[in-house]
Amino acid sequence: MKTSIIIPCYNEKNAIRETIECIDSVIRESKLNDIEIIAVNDGSTDGSEHVLNALASESENGNLLVVHHKRNQGYGAALKTGIRRSQSDYICITDADGTYPNERIPDLIVQITSKDLDMVVGARIGPNVDYSKIRSIPKMILVPWVSFLCGTDVPDMNSGLRIFRRDRSLDFLKLLPDGFSFTTTITICLLRNRYAVEFTPISYAKRIGKSHIKPIRDTLRFTQLILRTGMYFAPLRLLSPLIVSLAALFTASGLYDLTVLNNLTDKTVLLGFASLNVFMFALLADMIDKRSR
């Protein structure tokens, strides 16, 4: 089974050579066949494109394909370009900044092929994880929420080291965003559609160079994306906490009105209508979702 390793690159001049040379060395040592590397330069302005072109010309076996974006389009857009250019059965993605243990790529390939899985995610829950505390705070909220939405434990929703079947990604390509939310979206898409997904612990190192992630902005985008994707795949499950909360408030308000005020107030009536309306909306959306599959 042929595998394409896609590496999105945006202003990673100081890390991209080491990353690609490491992956190339790992591939040769693993003795796995039919593996190519696709490096997508996403409009870099620091000279990364020259490093990539030099690496392509130096490639002894010609297994490195370099694709250039004329302007910066985003992490997800770079991955989608690589997926479209690939003709492989499996897509493996990793970052260019040296954070992920790329020596684990052969293990991921063996795991997904031997078990006939649809995706294997390298979950950053291993023994050596160098992760920013600022970035870990929103994850403490978002990861349990994604797990609830998917109906299964999701230890790492947006790991950038993973391997998946190319045909599965093509099924959802129009839904996958152009930004950093690509990985979170494909995780939700595959899990909500009951595809075979496994998580395997990996380490995570400190990146080389400056991070392109902006914690506040990207956390807000992640939240918006989770809500949007949840409405698309699991509207009833997504809205169930709101429905239960409104129903509980309606019940409590109604009991207070009847036992203390001896009269049904407008507030209680509004809460009743609100809970009923949200429930009917969620039910209708869920029926449409199941009918469209």
How do residues 202-252 score in pLDDT, each as one tens digit?
999 887 656 666 667 767 777 787 788 788 888 888 899 999 999 999 999
Buried/exposed code over 258-269 (b: 16+ C-beta within 10 A; e: otherwise): eeeeeeeeeebe
Please compute the mean of the pLDDT values over residues 61-85 and round it to a whole number.
94
% of the chain with per-residue pLDDT over 70: 92
- Same domain? For 107 and 240 the reply is no
Q: Are 178 and 54 in a shared domain?
A: yes
- Band of residue 129 on the pLDDT scale cut at 50, 70, 90: confident
- pLDDT for res 230: 81
24, 37 contact by CB (below 8 A)? yes
Mean pLDDT of the chain: 90
Residues 221 and 141 sit within 8 Å (Cβ to Cβ): no
Number of structural domains found in the chain? 2
For the entire predicted model, the pTM comes to 0.84
pLDDT score recorded for residue 210: 65
Pairing mode, if any, of strands 197-201 and 119-123?
parallel
Same domain assignment for residues 142 and 267: no
Domain identity same for 249 and 172 = no
Are 126 and 246 contained in the same domain? no
Q: Which of 185, 206, 233 is the last residue of a domain?
A: 233
pLDDT digits (tens, 9 = 90+) for 14-46: 999 999 999 999 999 998 889 999 999 999 999
* CATH number of the domain bearing residue 94: 3.90.550.10
Higher pLDDT, 285 or 198: 198
pLDDT digits (tens, 9 = 90+) for 161-205: 999 999 999 999 998 999 888 999 999 999 999 999 999 999 998
The arithmetic mean of pLDDT across residues 89-104, rounded, is 95
| Per-residue H/E/C for 186-229 | HHHHHHHCCCCEEEEECCECCCCCCCCCCHHHHHHHHHHHHHHH
For residues 119 and 245, state if they share a domain.
Answer: no
- The residue among 247 and 287 whose pLDDT is bigger is 247
Are 42 and 99 in a shared domain? yes
Run of H or E including 168: helix 166-171
- Residue 212's pLDDT is 60
Q: Residue 272: pLDDT above 70?
A: yes
Taking CA 40 as the corner, what is the angle to CA 36 and CA 45, rounded to the nearest 5 degrees? 145
**Which of residues 184, 217, 233 is at a domain's end?**
233
Same domain? For 39 and 61 the reply is yes
Whole-Å CA distances, 67 to 34, 38, 64, 97, 117:
19, 7, 10, 18, 28
Domain range for 111 is 3-233
Asked whether the predicted pLDDT for residue 257 surpasses 80, the reply is yes
Residue 262 above 90 pLDDT? no
The torsion angles phi and psi of 8, rounded to 5 degrees, stand at -75, 140
In terms of domains, do 20 and 100 share one? yes
Q: Do 107 and 252 belong together in one domain?
A: no
Neighbours of 168 (CB within 10 A): 19
Domain end, chosen from 188, 205, 233, is at 233
Instruction: Examine the pLDDT at 256 and tell me if it is beyond 70.
Output: yes
Residue 269 is encoded by which pair of tokens?
């009536």
Phi, psi of 35 (to 5 degrees): -120, 125
- Do residues 108 and 120 touch, judged by C-beta distance below 8 A? yes
My answer on whether 245 and 229 are in the same domain is: no
Comparing 89-93, 108-112, 281-285, the range with the smallest average pLDDT is 281-285
247 and 223, same domain (yes or no): no
